[in-house]
Chains A and B, each alone.
Chain A
Amino acid sequence: MATQDPGRINLLQGTLDLLILRTLLFGPQHGQGVARAIQRQSEDVLLVDHGTLYPALQRLESKGWIEAEWGTSANNRRARFYKITPAGRKQLMQETGQWRKLATAIGRVLGPEGG
């Protein structure tokens, strides 16, 4: 398993799918790229276990939310590129909304920071 850095948070169950879809919204990307993007965008707070990434990609692909195709990366390497499908977009919209609601609700329950 990955190292436990106190500044980093392991992903909640189910949130990885959401993040992958969100990342792919900006364009096709390969697995490593997706992992890096998530880490970068969360300013290195979110830790993506590369080992769990691929089963998640597999799952999304089987649900028809993403599509995959072999292609060439920026530095000329063969890689499998994932692309979000219309169904995936719809799913993302839905889940994003739900997530926001949940986050707000939990925030309210927990109260102001440091309180």
Chain B
Amino acid sequence: MAMLKIENLQVYYGFINAIKGVSFEVNEGEIIALIGANGAGKTTILHTVTGLITPKSGKIEFEGINLVKTPAHKIVSLGMSHVPEGRRIFQQLSVYDNLRLGAFTLTDKKQIEKNFEYVYHHFPVLAERKKQIAGTLSGGEQQMLAMGRALMTNPKMLLMDEPSMGLSPIFVNEIFHIIGEVSRDGTTVLLVEQNAKKALSIADRAYVLEAGRISLEGKASDLINDENVKKAYLGE
């Protein structure tokens, strides 16, 4: 059964039609990659799903709940966390405060404590740097913090927007390794990436987005061998 179901989504920025009727599904337990060039509309789709942008038309359903009508701040309590593009951690606050804000919607102290342990287990560096001001972390550590912050609610689904952006290959590998771990722990992942090779290597299925439309979809293992995908996105 589809956990997240998007049907015929249309998004406009003023008069510009950014998303032209996109439909796709994410099933429970899957890692789904949404790949495509700069400006194809990947980030717009994620922002629309978590309510930062209102679509012109179309349906977004998460476990049967209509997300189009749900205000952005209520979506995280439904079990969906979004790691935004460019990380957008709270630069002025400490690592600990950032993580604590990640659990803003939770009130059960024990649950919060458990989630802290979970995050520190996957990102030991965050435990070491608890008191450090987040803005002084390295890019890779900031990405880890952004991910850790999103995991503080123990979400059913994690949306990740360009986690590899601006990171050194070592950190990219590390981040993707952790995405794999989180997925094995039972979290469904929707991954938006420009680094198509990396994304396809970890995903179950993928959708290729081109100028606001889905041009190709299928199993990640098939797409990685597709001639067109190879040429356009894998640089082969």
**Interaction A to B:** no
> Which residues on B are within 8 Å of A, measured CB to CB?
none
